[in-house]
Structure 1
């Protein structure tokens, strides 16, 4: 049986209230006080979601009538994005971009397609439609630039690479004359989970740091740091790609922990990994 990246228990605190009636938690936590208010900061800041053993897990999800509230929660964002002004960042004719309610890194967004022909499908199946795939890649690339800008807003005050640019900004140097700062786009990852936890197709736009108090157990970490996380750029997958196999992906979720940055192996010692990730984050943000 395919294992999802998260379990029902991960959503327990939100399950007792319908999504549209919740006051969503703050999702873009402020790592450092911003020096100047800007339109992007205002947008991103909070305002007063069974295959057989070796089969490819590509069957359409069950009827919405049979879904638990947490598993089908993304549909409300797709159909009624206007009801979530605190969480929806962008709406286009093709997609809705939202902040993940349970972020596993400093910046964690979800890109949701609005097409009824596709949003109920497993990504493996939906991405067989090459026109749809091309559209999702284009919109995901745009979403990644938004995520990179937000990551820079939070971390650039600590960055040695951005020091000259920050000082020039403080001195009132015109924008076009500013020296270059740190490029955060390479730190943004775009992909899907091999066995998605939520019923509706969603693409993760996530910073690679894994620095979050929502990162609570093995599957949370390994679902983003093994081949369980499949880059959208790799689609369409070949029919014999091992990442389609349920047994391969279930094994990925139970693998030993490996630091995303230094590649140190932590076995199954999650608490030790979490302490190490904090140290790596402090070093990484200063680059």
Structure 2
């Protein structure tokens, strides 16, 4: 089963920086290929016969992992009914990860609002291939959380929950992706209280206070 205690994400070496050009779009493939170079293997948090779980090279929160199926699937829109058994296994794995990580975060970061609230989902428009599922906490407190697009792509429905994707693949729900695409084009605002924010530093200063205010009902 997945380890409940991840160590901090290793610092990316220059050779592993995931630049968003055409060549690097498939950079995640190196984590599912064998054998791995030592600097690539350092990013692996957990693996089994179906999945490789890695630390995100640019973590947007205290917890930020990527779950990559070993099966080659380009992205979430390429998922088909024949992939449902894989998605069921992914659900089981991410449920275990979320339970373990939330318990760990409550103990490790009791004073960091959002650190123990874990979301699991796919970006509606992924920037990298192959298929990868984000496991990310809601503190959004790291130095890598820099831009409006960063925040809106994780704090809104642009991060499409795994459960919704499974429902779509099984033909029980319409496609969630088209509507989700628009959510990163809005103005910068706290997604908890909807208060507009002028800058990212202002937002990041506001988020911990907002968590406390929402919990207390103020």
What range describes the TM-score normalised by the shorter chain of this pair? 0.7 to 0.9
Aligned to 1:195: 125
Q: Distance in 2 between matches of 1:207 and 1:105?
A: 6
Matched residue, 1:135: 89
Partner residue, 1:44: 7
In structure 1, runs of 5+ residues without a counterpart are 1-38, 48-66, 160-182
Higher relative contact order (CA 8 A, sep 6+): 1
| Structure 2 residue 141 is matched with structure 1 residue 211 | yes
Residue number in structure 2 paired with 1:70: 24
Determine the C-alpha separation between the residues in 1 that align with 2:162 and 2:134. Answer: 9
TM-score by length of 2: 0.75
Q: Using structure 1 for the length normalisation, give the TM-score.
A: 0.59
Could you tell me which residue of structure 2 aligns to residue 112 of structure 1? 68
* Deviations, residues 25-44 of structure 1 (Å, cap 9, x unaligned): xxxxxxxxxxxxxx965x51
Q: For residue 220 of structure 1, report the CA deviation from its aligned partner.
A: 0.6
Indicate the RMSD between aligned Cα atoms, in angstroms.
3.1
Deviation at 1:200, TM superposition (A): 0.8
Name the stretch that deviates more: 140-149 or 236-245.
236-245
Match of 2:185 in 1: 254
Question: What is the match of residue 158 of structure 2?
Answer: 228
> 1:241 aligned to 2:189?
no
Following the alignment from structure 1 to structure 2, what is the Cα–Cα distance between the partners of residues 88 and 153? 23
CA distance in 2, matches of 1:135, 1:92: 11
Secondary structure, in 3 states, of the residue corresponding to 1:209? Answer: coil
Question: What is the CA distance between 1:272 and its match in structure 2?
Answer: 2.1
| 1:165-224 Cα deviation digits (max 9, x unpaired) | xxxxxxxxxxxxxxxxxx94xx11110100101011000001111111111111111111
**Alpha-carbon displacement from aligned partner over 1:199-253 (angstroms, at most 9, x marks no partner):** 11000001111111111111111111222111001123258736332xx344211
1:277 aligns with 2:210: no
- Between Structure 1 and Structure 2, whose CA radius of gyration is higher? 1
For structure 2, the 5+ residue unaligned runs are 11-20
Deviations 1:52-76 (A, max 9, x none): xxxxxxxxxxxxxxx7343111111
Instruction: Measure, in 2, the Cα distance between the counterparts of 1:153 and 1:81.
Output: 36
**Partner SS for 2:196:** strand
Q: Structure 1 stretches (4+) deviating beyond 4 angstroms?
A: 278-281
What is the alpha-carbon distance in structure 1 between the residues aligned to residue 56 and residue 79 of structure 2? 21
Contact preservation (8 Å) 1:97, 1:143: no
